[in-house]
Chains A and B, each alone.
Chain A
Amino acid sequence: MSTSVALIGGCALITAAIKSVGPIALGGRELPDWFSSLVVLLAPALLAALVVTQALADGDRLAAGPDTAGVVAGGLVVFKTGSIIGCVVVAAALTAGLRAL
């Protein structure tokens, strides 16, 4: 339980602090260009890392499984149709289907 409290409390405080900084300290002032560019590039770096560490790894070893196939299929769906929901549904359905075989 203490892990949950630390995780949830910490996450709430960090999010609230980050959302406060912009309107208070930076209101009306331009952020330096490099900072905005860095923020824009942080998302793809982190998202890609999250995708591969979950779809291609199991703990501390690399492993492909039904979930890998599901995520790849979901990726094709969002690439073709742009639908986030479609991507998630296809990924879960294919993963569950392959596991049921």
Chain B
Amino acid sequence: MVSVSFGVLAETAGLSPLAAIVMSAIVYAGSAQFTAIAIIAGGGGVGAALAAAALINSRFLAMGAALGPSLPGNAASRAAQGQTVVDASWVLASRGDGTFDRNMLFGSSAIQYVTWLSGTVVGALAGDVLGDPEKLGLDAVYPAFFLALLVSEARSGRPLGVAALGGAIALALVPIAPAGVPVLVASVAALVGLTRSARADARRKAEGR
């Protein structure tokens, strides 16, 4: 469903069906693809779209670092194996003790790659038949998908506060900043959340707890 929507919606950002399929084939990072497409469709530039995609991909730095010791071979080989990381395959491959089952990583990633790519093909080709994506409510799919990810990540505490601040920053900037920029600036909310966490930690230490 999500990959089919990507195929259909890529057209709203001016991508041809072939371009949408190529993007899923060589990028293979759903949230980064959706983010980049959403910013272009909203009138943003390529620079803003790529910067937002890089930020949303930054979690792969942390995931790759955790995975590193479980991958054999030289640097190039480890980097190649690291390309198979997507959120679900990383979670499935994790043994829970800090090590990873790389066969599980490759296997689950391969299955998802096929699903992701074939869904995009269906969506991209169906786009012409389906007609106006807005009539079908497909423009609500991006924000709904992002909201679903947000709800599963940030139900309470610090992440919820950061989400509220990020949303407020973006809304405030929409009328005055070029498209795409409000989303980038909203990442400052994460820094604010971080400094507040650091202060809270320092206070706990100072109080000797």
Contact = CB atoms under 8 A, between A and B. Distances in A.
Interface string A11-39: 11011101111111011111100111111
Given A11-B36, A42-B58, A27 B65 contact: yes
A66 B55 CA distance: 29
Interface residues of A, number: 77
A38 B152 contact: no
A21 B22 CA distance: 24
B53 A14 contact: yes
A65 to B, nearest CB: 10
Contacts of A49: 166-167, 169-170, 182-183, 186-187
Contacts of B68: 22-24, 26-29
A15 B30 CA distance: 11
B29 interface: yes
Interface in B56-70: 56-69
Interface string B9-28: 00001111001001100111
Given A18-B60, A22-B63, A99-B134, A59 B162 contact: no
A47 to B, nearest CB: 4
- Range of interface residues on B (Cβ < 8 Å): 35 or more
Query: Is the contact region of chain A dominated by helix, strand, or loop, or is it mixed?
Result: helix
Interface of A: 1, 3-4, 6-8, 10-12, 14-16, 18-24, 26-31, 34-57, 59-62, 66-67, 70-71, 74-75, 78-79, 82, 84-85, 87-97, 99-100
20 contacts: A7-B40, A8-B15, A20-B83, A23-B64, A35-B61, A38-B194, A42-B59, A46-B183, A48-B162, A50-B183, A52-B167, A53-B171, A53-B183, A57-B42, A60-B176, A62-B175, A66-B137, A91-B143, A92-B138, A94-B137
Interface of B: 1-2, 5, 13-16, 19, 22-23, 26-29, 32-33, 35-36, 38, 40, 42-43, 46, 49-50, 52-69, 71, 75, 78-79, 81-83, 85, 134-154, 158-160, 162-167, 169-171, 174-176, 179, 182-183, 186-191, 193-194, 197-198
Given A70-B137, A88-B5, A96-B136, 10 more contacts: A15-B29, A20-B64, A43-B56, A43-B149, A44-B166, A45-B190, A46-B55, A59-B43, A85-B2, A92-B5
